[in-house]
Amino acid sequence: MEKKAQNTKAASDPWDIGFGAVLFLLALGALLIWFPSDIRGGFLDVDHAGKPEPGDAFFPVLLAGAILLLSAIHVVKALLLNRQRVTEEQQGRLTRDDLIFLVLFNAIVVISLAAMFWLGPLATFAVNFFTGKELTYRQLVDTVPYKYIGYCVGGFVMTASLIAWAEAGLRWRAVFSIVAVIAASIVVFDILLFNVQLPPNADY
């Protein structure tokens, strides 16, 4: 006896909508609550010559604003365009694969951020151990190559891992692109802009 066909309907993916909505709310909270209470400087400052330059809030506001806009677009797109035929049992169901994805994604991000934060101080500790010096990373936070170690390694590990995961492998073109973006960000944020520090150096 044939099984009765399951009812299907065109529906938006609730995970797509939820992802965009959470990012939208977090970005909105950062702009309205977090940044005004935590960042002392303004969006734009004036240097000694009277020329405008990015203030302490410049890049955080730009980043949060970009996340706010992109997440809103993502939600609208999920509601209007990303509609697919799903059964009643499939709609909104949390599967084992979803949980594995979340665990792996967060593991990659956390490990990369830990490398970004700790590799600089670990490099300083290693230099002190072999040379007998008593330097701290705070003293070397604006010194080459210490200030680049965590940013470069952590940024490369995070980006390369996510690309390799998404594309089932890492090609030389992707490696070159990652290195080029990291190098360009160093030139812009560390060399051309004098009042900006690469992460996580501003935390020390």
Q: Mean pLDDT lowest for which of 10-19, 80-89, 151-160?
A: 80-89
pLDDT at position 123: 93
Q: Where are the alpha helices (DSSP H) in the chain?
A: 14-29, 35-38, 58-80, 96-131, 137-140, 146-167, 172-186
Q: Is the pLDDT of residue 9 over 60?
A: no
Q: Mean pLDDT lowest for which of 19-28, 30-39, 78-87?
A: 78-87
CB atoms within 10 A of CB 103: 10
Kindly report, residue by residue over 159-178, the tens digit of the pLDDT: 999 999 988 898 999 999 99
Return phi, psi of residue 9, to 5°. -150, 160
Q: Where are the domains of the chain?
A: 9-93, 94-204
